[in-house]
Amino acid sequence: MSVPHAFTSLRELEALVQLINSSFHEIKHACITQGKDFPFLNEPSTLESEAIVVSPEVVKAGSVITAAAYQLVAAVRPPTLTLFAQANTYFISSSLGVVIQAHVPEILREAGPKGLDIKGIAAPTGINADKLGHVLRLLATNHIFREVAPDVFANNRLSASLDTGKSVADILADPESKYDGTASAAAMIETMTTDGLLNAAHFSDVLFNPNLTNSGEPNETAFNLAFKTDLPYFEWLSKPEQAYKNKRFITGMHAGNRISAQGVILKGESTRFDWKSLPEDSVVVDVAGGVGTQTLTLAKEFSHLKYVVQDRASVIEDDAHKFWNAELPEVLSSGRVQLQAHDIFAPQPIRGAAVFIVRAIVHDWSDDYCVKFLSQLRAAATPSTQLIVIDNVIPYACADSQPSLDSDVPGAANVRPTAPAPLLPNFGAASLLTYLADIAMLSQLNGQERTIAQFARLFERSGWKLVRVHTDGFNYHDIKTIGVPA
């Protein structure tokens, strides 16, 4: 039975259902073509089983399904139910923090696919079993873990992704070393669901405080109110008493880089940065590059280049050296890779580099602070130096009616909202992580995610010119913006 033409809203619902259906068939076709099944939600996955999920055609179709499904739910559920559910999602965050700190993913991995009752899950840490059961049931209702029998839970595809791979005995023997030697996403998720949750509770306090609402200072944030400190977040994190949280944060960043670094640094949807064309022994500086995960990807691929990884002394002197000695020790001894402690706001010690890479750093700072450190890079640059900023690009949630940069900057048009109707132009929930990161940066650092136009203005203020935009994948994250000295 066809929907009457006058029933506009009903026709929109039908269009959303059709988008989901057609996108499913695209995923089905990809699976059949590649000879791979789609990973089952109720079973822990592997890197091999997840390979189909990150293939370009499946990512694109999956993003349409995600956007359409969330929009369909928003459309068909009574508004007050949706608003109450959204307003209470902080309990999902706090529950994730609980199960990570109670080592539930590791306990259930050792228990096996049949699962374990709540008393057995709670026993290793002494947490109240009945209360933990409530936590697990909330998460299972959101498809994180599964309840295989009353009060018996097992890992599934999502919860298993929180597993560090360590034995429960080893974790209990030394809880503060839980993330050492791992690349576990749980490290960053624990940070988000503990410290980040406290920041969020104070976000509105900052916005309505007349002394703080217009501030771009890194120590006048919701984080400062939550933790009662005058120190900026990264300075606070480096204090000896925050050693565990610092290690946890570094591991979380390392895990994120492992997932995306190779694709981000080597690939581009519109064009690729031509690393091979750089002259022999050209110097590539990874500014605030953590332990150097993305530089490792480059060093393995392009042996004709030299690299410098810069970050805080606490990162370089311990974690970075451990990382490289484990992964590729010969490049340190040969001098092809140097590890250098450096404050990004101090004069850049590497003069005349071929490339400066700045990944996931610009979003940590307000505009004035970005201009300060980008200007230091400009002062050390030659006319041929290139600046690669790899960060989120945040599109509008409406159609961009003034795409002024599209004709001026190659690749900029590729990050304009282009979702098929009736989806939100920015793909709605499929792009949600970028917008959540935007608020996280605001609450913790007074940073922000930026539009292409905002990147162009930052470059102009600091002596650079935006000349190219490279997209990586389908969603609006980890975009490379390329600048040259103005």
Any idea where the domains of the chain sit in the sequence? 8-85, 89-177, 179-266, 268-427+447-485
- Give the model's confidence band at 265: pLDDT under 50 very low, under 70 low, under 90 confident, else very high: low
The alpha carbons of the chain give a radius of gyration, in whole angstroms, of: 24
**Most trustworthy range by pLDDT among 96-100, 237-241, 433-437:** 96-100
Q: How many CA atoms lie within 13 A of 114 on its CB side?
A: 2
Is residue 472's pLDDT more than 70? no
Domain 268-427+447-485 has CATH 3.30.2000.10: no
Q: Which of 167-171, 263-267, 395-399 shows the lowest mean pLDDT across its residues?
A: 263-267
> What's residue 367's pLDDT?
97
Res 404: pLDDT: 57
Confidence of residue 254 (pLDDT cuts 50, 70, 90): confident
Comparing 24 with 393, which gets the higher pLDDT?
24
pLDDT in tens, 330-378: 999 999 999 999 999 999 999 999 999 999 899 999 999 999 999 999 9
Active site residues: 363
Residue 407 has pLDDT above 70, yes or no: no
Average pLDDT of the residues of the chain: 91
Instruction: Please name the fold of domain 89-177.
Output: Arc Repressor Mutant, subunit A (1.10.10)
Is-same-fold flag (89-177; 268-427+447-485)? no
Q: Picking from 21-25, 134-138, 250-254, 456-460, which range would have the lowest pLDDT averaged per residue?
A: 250-254
End-to-end Cα spacing for the chain: 61
